[in-house]
Chains A and B, each alone.
Chain A
Amino acid sequence: MFKRVLMASAVVSLFAACSSTQPPAAVVAEPAQPVVVAPVAPVVDAQAAAQAAAQARMQAERARLAGESIYFDFDSNAVKADQQAKVAAHAEFLKQNTQQKVQIQGNTDARGSREYNLGLGQRRAESVKQSLEVLGVKDAQLEAVSYGKEKPRAEGSSPADYAENRRADVSYGQ
């Protein structure tokens, strides 16, 4: 898209340059060389358009996946059966986009020591990382880190809040 606009504006400025620098016809000693005038209508580049569409689809899929958190049971770091499909979707995307790196961020509920919770969140992140590797994602694409109990999504202390915070997020960056 961007490329095409550039091209069109280049054509316009070419015309502008011609009209202002062309000497008056009467003074011309020799006939002007034949000039091939580029068409003013935009050129459609089929490959670029397809690429742009694919890029847009990829970005939409990436945005969708970034919201797909993996949830865990209390005191557990096992990826539950009902969370497997989300892990598989992340894996599929990462295998198709091998330049994409992600950070898997493990979280815990608010109970107990900060550093021990950092360890528990790490365990959850590592568990998701291993599941992705089993599904064929390269280690170099993955970093498992922990936020422990420091960055709760739910700030309350109800069972539902705690469940919301027992989670790993897959961050695709900016």
Chain B
Amino acid sequence: MIKRIRLTLTLLACLAPALAQAELTVDIVGGGANRYPLAVPALAGEAGGQVVTTVVKQDLALTGLVNIINPPNPAMTVATPNAVNVATWRALSANAVLAGSVSPSEGGNSRVTFYLEQLAPKKTLAQGEFDVPPAALREVGHQIADQVYQALFGEKSFFNSRIAYVLKNGRHSYQLQVADVAGQQARTILRSKEPIISPAWSPDGRKLAYVSFETQKPVVWVQDLASGQRRMLANFKGSNSAPAWSPDGSRLAVVLTSSGNSQIYLLDVAGGAPRRLTQSDAIDTEPDFSPDGSQIVFTSDRAGGPQIYLQPVAGGAAKRISWQGAYNVSPRFAPDGKSVTYMRRDGGRFRVVVQDLATGDARVVSDESFGESPSFAPNGRMVLFASEQGGRSVLWASSPDGTSKVRLGVIDGEVQDPAWGPFNP
């Protein structure tokens, strides 16, 4: 039986004008019932739109691992650990309460405090204090959520990361954007009348490699996010595409066509002569490095249709790993290297697959009428992909076991090639 719980938060217009009426929807399916029950009353004294409280609740809900419990009375707040009434919150089945407050500080700043209080036994699991200008309150919300998450689950959260994607609006408007995981606070880093595809994050989160058609052919560029400086990395005769960074950031795998077909090559980030990595007379493309840098996973149609293959970077034979379906593409490693996600096209359906590399078990974690380019969150807890709904784009995240699926955000226009970045630098 599928149990479905729906949590809806209405985002405030002042926070996200483009998403004024957007709803954040979290669908929990099946095993998601094991979520941690956390009570999150509004931070005491937080006026107006309750920016911090809203962001904290949103982020924690997005993990698919936390069941947010609202207070019986929305006006109820808990400023300090001493103010936590254990009986009240236990009656609501909460295991812990997020207490805290927002108060005016010097120079128009706000002082924000929080305490993560476990109820039985009563114990402060995490606490913190911030003194920031109003513009930074959203960021404070992300940081509190991150600290709460780390205290509850013993690992970094993915709020501390960003996504990159290409936003297409009409035939001749392409924007390469970087945004937070909910698709908000988007910043355009490249605007072009010609297509941009395949953004790839550098391991340190400071650069993006991508393919731009601005010179009337596909060329691989590398751009520094902070300075905006960019340069051509691969502009060889023919097509240049599908960049992927090695985990140490020193090399990129790219697809070149000098042999008369699409093959995977290695290039030093500083430039120099490419070294051919795959040897086939087929299309070999969409490389991605394993986290230890020893292997690449890629798409090849050497057996007819496109399928997923692994190959050692040092040299050696390619090994096919996908055996179900006639069209498997766009593979990406999980951060622990133990599984890969890819897209399977079956009839008119697009299925996000997560495959365990040790057992070969391939699980369909989402089944969509449209989808492309799944990628793992940097903590491995979610797989990101974009879908389409009523002419707008929807960013989804699914847990790798398929038990929870979260709608991260809705964006006007066509979102292409979403790529989940590493933890923020």
Task: Return chain A residues, CB-CB under 8 Å to B203.
Answer: none
Complex: how many Å from CA A49 to CA B372? 58
- Asked whether A116 lies within 8 Å of B329 as measured between CB atoms, the reply is yes
With A114-B198, A116-B285 known as contacts, the answer to whether A146 contacts B416 (CB < 8 A) is no
Task: Return chain B residues, CB-CB under 8 Å to A118.
Answer: 197, 218, 239, 241-242, 255, 262, 285
With A122-B239, A145-B217 known as contacts, the answer to whether A114 contacts B416 (CB < 8 A) is yes
Interface residue A120 (Cβ < 8 Å from any Cβ of B): yes
**Chain B: minimal CB distance from A55 (Å):** 25
With A118-B285, A150-B197 known as contacts, the answer to whether A143 contacts B237 (CB < 8 A) is yes
Task: Say which residue of A119, A120, A130, A151 sits within 8 Å of B255 (CB atoms).
Answer: A119
The closest CB in chain B to the CB of A173 belongs to B216
- Asked whether A155 lies within 8 Å of B171 as measured between CB atoms, the reply is yes
Complex: how many Å from CA A118 to CA B254? 13
Task: Say which residue of A112, A122, A143, A144 sits within 8 Å of B345 (CB atoms).
Answer: A112
Complex: how many Å from CA A147 to CA B241? 11
Query: What total of chain B residues lie within 8 Å of the partner, measured CB to CB?
Result: 33
21 A-B residue pairings within 8 Å (CB atoms): A103-B217, A112-B327, A113-B306, A113-B343, A114-B197, A115-B255, A115-B330, A116-B285, A116-B299, A118-B197, A119-B262, A122-B283, A123-B261, A126-B257, A145-B217, A145-B257, A146-B218, A148-B197, A150-B197, A151-B213, A155-B171
19 new A-B pairs (CB below 8 Å) besides A113-B343, A116-B286, A147-B213? A112-B306, A112-B345, A113-B330, A114-B372, A114-B417, A115-B198, A115-B255, A115-B329, A118-B218, A118-B241, A118-B242, A119-B301, A122-B262, A123-B262, A126-B261, A144-B239, A144-B260, A146-B239, A171-B216
**Residues of B bordering A, CB below 8 Å:** 171, 195, 197-198, 213, 216-218, 237-239, 241-242, 255, 257, 260-262, 283, 285-286, 299, 301, 306, 327, 329-330, 343, 345, 372-373, 416-417
